[in-house]
Amino acid sequence: MRTDIVDLAYLVSAVGFGLSLKWMTAVVTARRGILAGEISFAIAIVATLINPAITTTGWFLIAVALALGTMIGIPLGLRVPMTAMPERIALSHAFGALAAGLVGVAHYYLTYHSSGKFETVVLGVEVTLGCLVFTGSLMASGKLHEVLPQRPIVFPGQNFLNFSVLGVAAAIIIVLMFRPDTTWLVPVLVVLGLVFGVLLIIPIGGADMPTVIALLNSYAGLSAAALGFVLNNKLLIVAGALDGTSGLILALIMCRAMNRSFRNVLFGAFGQLDESVAESSEHGQVRSASTDEAAEIMKIARSVVIVPGYGMAVAQAQHKVRELADALEQEGVDVRYAIHPVAGRMPGHMNVLLAEANVPYDKLLDMEEINPEFPQVDVVLVLGANDVVNPAARHAKSSPIYGMPILNVDQAQCVMVVKRSMRAGFAGIENELFYNPKTLMIFGDAKAVVSELALEVSGQLSH
């Protein structure tokens, strides 16, 4: 009877999770989705706690642990700046995976006497995934926070080493399947998982982070689902499956937006291209403009499209961008934003940053929406984006980014590129957009340039 009530409560929670994601499909209902998620969570926790196996000491420990987690969770949730969102999300993947991994290990030691082969295998996979996502997410977070070098690190035999680690882990799981009492192998499995997580992220460069974070999200979900199989808990399976597919879809979208395969992202170490490719392209004439010239052109434009990239996030220029847009709108200019799917360091990164700066979300356009309109756009302002606007992706078959869908900014009447110097972009590829006769380069720091432009346009700078 009691288990029936618990199962019923879990069912309600599972439906709630489904609704939560359903409401996430539109901005107007999204916050209702969070509420549904929170209520479902509360129901699940209460249902779990009506368990007679919980001892008095257990109750005390649960209370302490929940309070401690809440105390740490609140500042982590509220005090994080939007620019630090990718590393914050990576960090929370690490926490979730740590929990899943530890529960798996504890469960193994408590039940290995009586568990069947299927449970042992799933538990082994679950522990490996949990540990892998834990260190992998910590590494990703470290790279994003620039505590660790963002550059991909590659060495000979890397893939061989990675697969060997994975192979040994698989072998251990098989041994455990037949000899579950060889419990000393479990810590070895944990260590292998942890090591593999590190190895997996070492060769990943900054521009591939969106895919990898989404993939880690997916793995975290899969480990929760695996735990559900072991504990025979359908709610965990549902939540894990939802999280797993969500991460997978995001990762696929990111891969498609870069015209690359999973295998290529994970084992390709993008950005390690040989210098000869980068150096060989024909240089044309580069035209540069000062901010007051650029401001004059923008003021007489009818339509301006701003293309933000990771450079805007690094310079924290989103608020200044909004000021510039306000000033232009005062002059009667129509200002919109073109967001490439892989701009920034995680899916949707630019949207969140611009929303923080109070840019209305209906001004943020996806690549598919804005691309057909570029020929009618007077001025495009490229801000800290590079490879996603490189026309070479359309025609230069030898280019490493050939075939990648790009924002066709070169079809606009005039393109302005804000850039520190003529250095090549992340992938080390020359951008032929810079040599286009329609292009004006504005050299300088993104934030400084944009705030000067805003002042020029609004006429607050005198000459």
Token pair of 154, please? 């590659």
Select from 43, 36, 35 the least CA-distant residue to 17. Answer: 36
CB of 111 to another protein, least distance (A): 10
Q: The sheet that has 303-308: what strands, in order across it?
A: 364-366, 334-339, 303-308, 379-383, 414-419, 439-443
Q: How far is the CB of 182 from another protein (least distance, A)?
A: 17
Judged by CB, which is closer to another protein: 12, or 80?
Answer: 80
If the CB atoms of residues 207 and 225 are measured against another protein, the closer one turns out to be 225
213 with 87: CB under 8 angstroms?
A: no
Kindly compute the dihedral angle of the four CA atoms of residues 259, 265, 269, 270, in this order, to the nearest 10 degrees: 20
The whole-angstrom separation of Cα 398 and Cα 60 is 64
Q: Write out the two tokens for 412.
A: 């606009």
Q: CB 68 → another protein: shortest distance, Å?
A: 5
| In the complex, least distance from residue 446 CB atom to another protein, rounded to whole angstroms | 21
* Residue 137 Cβ vs another protein, minimum distance, rounded to whole Å: 10
Give how far the C-alpha of residue 438 lies from the chain's centroid of Cα atoms, to the nearest Å: 33
What is the CB-side half-sphere exposure of residue 460 using CA atoms within 13 A? Answer: 9
Catalytic hit among 4, 387, 410, 445: 387
In terms of CB distance, is 67 or 171 closer to another protein? 67
- Return d(Cα 192, Cα 250) in angstroms, integer: 27
- Least separation in angstroms between residue 427's CB and another protein is 22
Q: Do residues 367 and 407 make contact, with C-beta atoms less than 8 angstroms apart? A: yes
Active site residue 334: no
* Distance of alpha carbon 339 from alpha carbon 342, whole angstroms: 8
Nearer to another protein, 91 or 294 (CB): 91
Give the nearest distance from C-beta 158 to another protein in angstroms: 28
CA distance linking residue 284 with residue 357, whole number of Å:
37
Which tokens is 316 given?
């924290």
Nearest approach in angstroms of CB 418 to another protein is 23
Q: What is the DSSP string of 34-82?
A: HHHHHHHHHHHHHHHH--TT--HHHHHHHHHHHHHHHHHHHHHHHS--G
Please state, in angstroms and rounded to a whole number, the distance separating the CA atoms of residues 247 and 346.
12
The tokens 């929670």 sit on which residue?
Answer: 13
Q: Which is nearer to another protein, 301 or 442 (CB)?
A: 301
Cβ 273 vs Cβ 428: under 8 Å: yes
Minimum gap (Å) between residue 176 Cβ and another protein: 16
Q: Quick one: how far is CA 272 from the chain centroid?
A: 21
In the complex with another protein, the residue whose CB is nearer, 261 or 358, is 358
Biggest CA-to-CA distance, the chain: 83
Choose between 164 and 358: whose C-beta lies nearer to another protein.
Answer: 358
Instruction: CB nearer to another protein: give 13 or 399.
Output: 13
Q: How far is CA 430 from CA 224, 238, 365, 399, in A?
A: 43, 46, 26, 9
Instruction: Answer for the pair 178, 172: CB distance below 8 angstroms, yes or no.
Output: no
For residue 268, CA distances in Å to 128, 205, 399 come to 23, 10, 15
User: Which sequence positions are flagged as catalytic?
Assistant: 387
